[in-house]
Structure 1
């Protein structure tokens, strides 16, 4: 099978390229010119199953290579300001629609899109208003694919808008559409300022880690587990479903993950809690169900603790 991966220079994209090549699949890695991380893909150029394509999403109609499956990750405006920029998000929507049409011309049969947990829009404030500040996360219903979606950012709204638009377009073009609601991913090569990267770096050096209160529910999935989930979604009979939470099986209070990293590194560094201003969309409260993903055969090989050990 020939797999097109857009946004292939991203954290997730680079790992997916490696994973699909390890499965002896042909990979077309699409990156924009001067994309950060693209250099890390050059090592695959000696592999005759790998092809690097330098092309901006706004010019996607110039793509002239055939492929069987598209995994669409490319997305602008994922930073704090960009997430609230309606114009940037509209460009993302238009590019995804153009790409789906290109998929028809290039013979693709399945289109996987990287949606987001931001589509749910559930925040810590929402939970505290309903269950009180002394909530027990075990008593709060998990977010299933059928849970209400009330995104608070332009980013989340754009991802949600594409769910229906790409599904309808795919049906009309004869392309199977898969909407992946991806939760919080960690692993080697993640952004250096992420919570996990910060904790590993500072605790390794026995430094104090300065973080927010971390009292919300959170869900982490290790990058290698995520790649396996996406591989299954590209290959398996999806039993008539098209929306999938892509996450780990365990939901915990965010501070518990921080304490686990400190323990695993046997660090003498402290945990310094500082009051931090929440983003305008609020603090996400993540407690997904992955029953639907499990039904197609997904099982975490790593999970959080083994994933952290693999990182360090």
Structure 2
């Protein structure tokens, strides 16, 4: 039985990856410190004989008993509200955490896949964005703590690959959505759905003509799984190239939820990218991968998930307490 360590296991994407690898017959070791994750996301796995959970901060020394075949590093705040509240932790998990996990991969002779992001492209001057584009990033802007953490992750990972011959994989994740997202975390989908559930007007920043491309979580997980098992060591975009404006998307959500809210406009945040669309030609050629779930179906599944949460679960999803981490 192959053994895989997944960090950020209690997070949105990490928990779905745990499900996939358990289903594929792997022995999965999940690791999380719950800074942004939620134990609810993995409760259903805790009694599974092929799943083990370790509560741990990856910025501290990591020790895992026995062999490992694979490591997937998904521990990181991934939403603007989170990484603006805990900027130091965001930088540390991308630097110290990645360094620790690369060292573990060396010690265990394991293949490691790191979760990068479309944010490495910044506010792109090239559209759509392909892997050979170097990006347009403001290193000292508010979003730089996340953007540069991910860019450093890629750099140190490639250094380990070139200098030590470590087997590495890098996925550049474009906007992904689905069940287990946390409401009010600043990302577009949960923000709009949270406002719709509360009967509030939907907030659009700027004129709403900036674009995003949304990938359903099942498609994202499939792409990551194929990339891990491929022979390719360099970054690969995984996302859905079907692009829409934020304004149009807000109206889609209003139509989906059957509510009568208005769209209201506020000032655009600093360095908010105006266009975000993946070029997935490499993933299509290399991995024989393309997204299968269209946005209408994916949003319906996601909204049904949020509607099914209890009042307590909704409150916990909307009110994340970072007080224990602010000064670390």
The alignment's TM-score, normalised by the length of structure 2, stands at 0.80
Classify 1:11/1:94 alpha carbon distance in 2 versus 1 (closer, same or farther; 3 Å). same
Q: Does residue 28 of structure 1 match 2:29?
A: yes
User: Do 1:64 and 1:106's aligned partners in 2 also have CA atoms closer than 8 Å?
Assistant: no
CA distance in 2, matches of 1:252, 1:36: 29
User: Aligned partners of 2:254, 2:79: CA distance in 1, in Å?
Assistant: 29
Aligned to 2:282: 292
Secondary structure in 2 matching 1:115: strand
Which deviations, in whole Å up to 9, do the C-alpha atoms of 1:214-248 show, x marking residues without a partner?
A: 2101111111111111111111233xx51111211
- Aligned mate of 1:245, from 237, 245, 259: 237
Residue 183 of structure 1 is matched in structure 2 by: 174
Aligned to 1:141: 127
1:184–1:219: 8 Å Cα contact kept in structure 2?
yes
Alignment RMSD (CA, Å): 2.6
Partner of 1:93: 95
Q: Is residue 218–residue 286 contact of structure 1 (8 Å, CA) maintained in 2?
A: yes
In 2, distance between residues paired with 1:34 and 1:268? 33
SS at match of 2:28: strand
Write the mapping of 1:272-283 to structure 2, written as runs, cut at 5 A. 272-278=263-269, 280-283=270-273
**Structural mapping, 1:11-160, within 5 Å:** 11-32=12-33, 36-75=37-76, 79-80=80-81, 82=83, 85=87, 89-90=91-92, 92-108=94-110, 110-122=111-123, 141-152=127-138, 153-160=144-151
Match of 2:297 in 1: 306
Q: Determine the C-alpha separation between the residues in 2 that align with 1:277 and 1:262.
A: 21
Cα deviation 1:28-72 (Å, max 9, x = unaligned): 101126764124323212211111112221333333342111110
Off by >6 Å, runs of 4+ in structure 1: none
2:213 and 2:242 in contact (8 A); partners too = yes
114-123 or 72-81: which moved more? 72-81
Aligned partner of 1:167 among 154, 158, 165? 158
Q: 1:70 to 1:214 in 2, by over 3 A?
A: same
Secondary structure in 1 aligned to 2:240?
Answer: coil
Deviations 1:60-102 (A, max 9, x none): 3333342111110112585458459468515631221121111
Q: Cα distance 1:304–1:101, how it changes in 2: closer, same or farther (>3 A)?
A: same
Residue segments in structure 1 that go unaligned for 5+ positions in a row:
128-139
Distance between the aligned counterparts of 1:201 and 1:91, measured in 2? 28
Structure 2 unaligned segments of length 5 or more: list them.
Answer: 139-143, 305-328
Q: Alignment length, in residue pairs?
A: 292
Which residue among 224, 227, 234 is the counterpart of 1:233? 227
